[in-house]
Amino acid sequence: MTEIRHNWTKEEILAIYNKPMMTLLYEAATTHREHHDPNTVQVSTLLSIKTGGCPEDCGYCPQAARYHTDIEGNDLMSVQQVKAQALRAKASGSSRVCMGAAWRNVKDGPEFDNVLEMVRTINKLDMEVCCTLGMVTENQAERLAEAGLYAYNHNLDTSEDYYKDVISTRAFEDRLDTISNVRKTNVTVCSGGIIGMGEAVEDRAGMLAALAKLDPQPESTPINALVAVPGTPMEDIEPISIWEMIRMVATTRIVLPQTQVRLSAGRTEMSREGQAMCFFAGANSIFAGDKLLTTPNPDVNEDMKMFDLLGLTPQKPFVKKAQPESVEAVDSKFESLGEKPKWSRPGHKIERNEEAKLAGKALK
């Protein structure tokens, strides 16, 4: 059994990434089989419960209020709407619902109380519940755990070195702080990143080294390919090739042997053959549903046809960890403290983010 290492160097990871393709695939597939059933793939549904209007300046994101994109913003969905969508997702084979809100950080108050109720509701449907709500304090993470949250997503996005070329409104350190707050609870950690944002291959290795350093390593790791959305600072970046995706998936599998490696944004650009290579290289999770927050995603029926073709079976919920219990709001032992997570603002500006902001303002 491959050992779990937390001391991978960027150079070691780069050497894996650059191996001859057949050697890389063989080694990744071997590691994959040691830790996972290679014919089972987790299916998650990503639901945007609050869309657009985010104050952050992530250069890849159409939901940042400062950019001029065509997305339709929405206030927080109701618990009933979320329940209906979760039931639909369950009926089409998903075992997990991931709720995303375009917030900088969680704010204690009625909206967060509603999110907690959504967590309870989905957990009672016997599905794994994940949230991605921005930065959280330890107390907020505890409240999510108590409501029955299974996983919290907070991506590192890229390497620490390249981070400041993508986002100026927060620092890499802030991401690690939120992950550390989640780790103090029994909620599992989902953290990965995006490739194809103009970063060097060294940055991809740097991001994997940072993820591997986390102890324990994340239980799931989404690998996204940039979907360049018009109006964002990254609108002109050319898409990466499928071979880069396969290399990234295979390297992630070797460096993070136990994580569920999730094929995330960018799957519409991949052929079935390309996705099959990714599954062979160690991907064992996908996001299902026709949209990934705001960007397109393959139709779920097409995914199920692909599963049939490849002999893949959707993973059942709570295979890796027992279902958490949901404590009702009235029985909660945690108070709403009204606190905000602390975050450091690097105090620098990214030129292309500023240009996109000005262009957006001019259009508005």
Residue 54: CB minimum distance to ligand SF4, A: 3
DSSP output for 97-108: EEEEE--SB--T
61 is catalytic: yes
58 is catalytic: yes
131 is an annotated ligand-binding site residue: no
Stretch that binds ligand SF4, among 61-69, 72-80, 183-191, 238-246 (CB under 6 A): 61-69
Provide the sign of the torsion angle of the four alpha carbons 73, 76, 82, 84, taken in this order. negative
Q: Where are the beta strands (DSSP E) in the chain?
A: 40-50, 96-101, 128-132, 151-153, 188-190, 193-195, 220-225, 260-263, 283-288, 291-292, 295-296, 313-314
Catalytic pick among 96, 98, 120, 204: 98
Q: Is 2 helix (H, G, I), strand (E, B) or coil?
A: coil
Site for ligand SF4 in 179-208 (CB under 6 A): none
190 is catalytic: yes
When asked if residue 106 is in the footprint of ligand SF4 (CB under 6 A), the reply is no
Give 106 or 211: the residue with its C-beta nearer to ligand SF4: 106
Residue 28: CB minimum distance to ligand SF4, A: 28
98 is catalytic: yes
Residue 212 CB neighbours (<10 A): 23
Residue choice 32, 46, 71, 134 for contact with ligand SF4 (CB under 6 A): 134
Q: For residues 275 and 286, give the distance between their C-alpha atoms in angstroms, rounded to a whole number.
A: 10
When asked if residue 227 is in the footprint of ligand SF4 (CB under 6 A), the reply is no
Paired tokens of 168: 């100026």
Residue choice 13, 61, 190, 225 for contact with ligand SF4 (CB under 6 A): 61
Q: What one-character DSSP code corresponds to residue 223?
A: E
Q: Is 295 helix (H, G, I), strand (E, B) or coil?
A: strand
Give 64 or 207: the residue with its C-beta nearer to ligand SF4: 64
**Given the rule CB under 6 A, which residues bind ligand SF4?**
54, 56, 58, 61, 63-64, 102, 134
* Active centre residues (catalytic): 54, 58, 61, 98, 130, 190, 262
